[in-house]
Amino acid sequence: MFGIVVKSCARWQGPDSSLVPPTQAQTRETVVANTFSVLEEQAFPVLTSEQIARLGSFGASKATQPGDILFDVGDSGYSLVVVLEGRTDIVDRANGDHVLKTSGPGEFNGELGLLTGQSTFAACIVRQAGKVLLVPPASVHEIVSTMPELSSLLVTAFAARRQLLMASAVASLTIIGRDEDPDVLRLLEFADRNRVPYRWLDPDKPKDVPAITQCGVTDRGTFRAVWGGGRRTLDRPTPLALARAIGLDLLVKQDAPSDLIVVGAGPAGLAAAVYGASEGLSTLVVEDTAIGGQAGTSSCIENYIGFPAGISGGDLAFRAEVQAVKFGARITVPRHATALERRDGIYAVQLDDGGILLGRSIVIATGARYRRLRLSEQEAFEGAGIYYAATEIEARRCRGGEAVIVGGGNSAGQAAMFLSERARLVHILCRGPDLARSMSQYLISRLESTPNIRIRLYTQVTEVRGGETLESVTIANRLTGEVRTLSACALFVMIGANPCTEWLSGTVGLDEKGFVVTGSSRSDGHLPYETGLAGVFAVGDVRSGSVKRVASAVGEGSVVIQGVHRHIAALRDAGNPPEKT
């Protein structure tokens, strides 16, 4: 029914995305099989008669005949389908109407899009005549918000189904393009990090050519996205164009200002969304790239409390996103904030597409991005050998070759451990005398004991070379002056951080490096994390003086909601009561 590929955190991934330490008797195939079994059990529960009766008060029953389409690929606003009698099929339209799952009485059809507002990735077709219960999405939200038992069952199933869809590479979306094309890499990363089920076909790989032909594509030199059973295509799509086409870009219609707008969906922003929405604030999250931010690209976070064996940044972000949506937060991606204005006691966030979002309070959680190396040939290889994240997509280029990582922080160390399982040799370049100044000791110990990792101190990159893709990196030792050239299929740049605050110019106070100055670094009575504007807060990596750790960002994102409540209470006391959106 589903084939599964497990993303690794260190070496072994457990059924709930936690690490499962292997025994000598275990093999990767055993772990994958166990993962598949547990995910299936979570994804496809059978409702009891009592649970069906409770759902019945929220929907309406409908008689069905074979061939009836209850929802199709690309539908939005579809209903949860509970099978009362007969059978239904979940069908992959782009793969010859391949049946992914057959549901019988007591089972239900629906996926995470019911909560997020996304369009469907598969179709639901009646196989055997009977009767179904249709529960509209608004009622599904109400059930999730007010009925704990059903909420836990539905949300767990929806999340597990999305994981299975991703793992099985359901062909509702097919990305066709060459490996060395940076635009292809950008789209693959966008789809992967936002948990959009897709498959990737490379026209340069003979094994992919038949599938490309089946998609109706004859000009294999064009980068395309194909979906809807091959009926819809986009040439050289941007992430935003694709998001709009497949229903991921959720246009937000506001009848009144939101209580809280969170700009940025990294760990800090997601924590603010979870706590804000769970405490009754109408919460809207705007993210311009992918859920999880920079932390979402981490292959394994091992020092985050509660996950003693580690969790990938992507899995942590996915769980947080599901939590936020469960409590009623709305998340829109990819939408880029371009300006912040104050208007009649509330705030307006301007977007790059010309849209405007209104909120009574703002949490700035836009984080920071890695600095560039400023090499003369750098731009030619960005996305074609030079990368700023080490995910499964970038790691494919490193198989059997040499990878070079520039940086001395935890992100660089985690990337090195991840890539060491794929590359023949991994070089870590650090400008300083040691790694201990910026990297956790547990990571340093791991790096030093991994045979195919080389740590090079006092070292920097001076030149990059190649043809269509990166082929070599020239490095220099700052103490000895020694210069050498490394054969390199990939260069990962993970140095320093530049705050993502261009859109805030002239509105809130910034320090000399561009980070947002907040109450914790002021002496004028402002609330912690509050900027010079009442009701505008900054948390996580974008905040001046913050500790650049995932746990710290999550803590700030949760604590800042206390200040948001106080600000909204002050508006209410001043005669400007919040309206429901």
- Give, to the nearest 10 degrees, the angle between helix 550-573 and helix 267-278: 40
**Residue position matching structure tokens 């509209």:** 136
134: which 2 tokens? 């249709």
- pLDDT computed for residue 229 by the predictor: 63
d(CA 59, CA 150): 15
Number of Cβ atoms within 10 Å of the Cβ of 484: 11
- pLDDT computed for residue 362 by the predictor: 98
541: which 2 tokens? 């990596």
Could you tell me where the beta strands, DSSP code E, fall in 185-329?
199-201, 224-227, 232-235, 258-263, 283-286
d(CA 402, CA 214): 36
Low-confidence stretches of the chain (pLDDT beneath 70): 1-37, 94, 167-172, 220, 228-230, 247-252, 520-526, 576-581
d(CA 549, CA 146): 34
Could you tell me where the beta strands, DSSP code E, fall in 315-457?
330-332, 337-343, 346-351, 356-364, 368-369, 386-387, 402-406, 425-430, 453-457
d(CA 435, CA 488): 22
CA distances from 146 to 48, 143, 149, 278, 327 (A): 19, 5, 9, 12, 10
Q: Please name the helix (run of DSSP H) or strand (run of DSSP E) that holds residue 264, with its range, or none.
A: none
Task: Please list the alpha-helical segments (H only) found in 467-533.
Answer: none
d(CA 454, CA 174): 38
| N-to-C CA span, the chain | 41
Q: What is the pTM of this model?
A: 0.84
- pLDDT computed for residue 217 by the predictor: 78
DSSP for residue 96: T
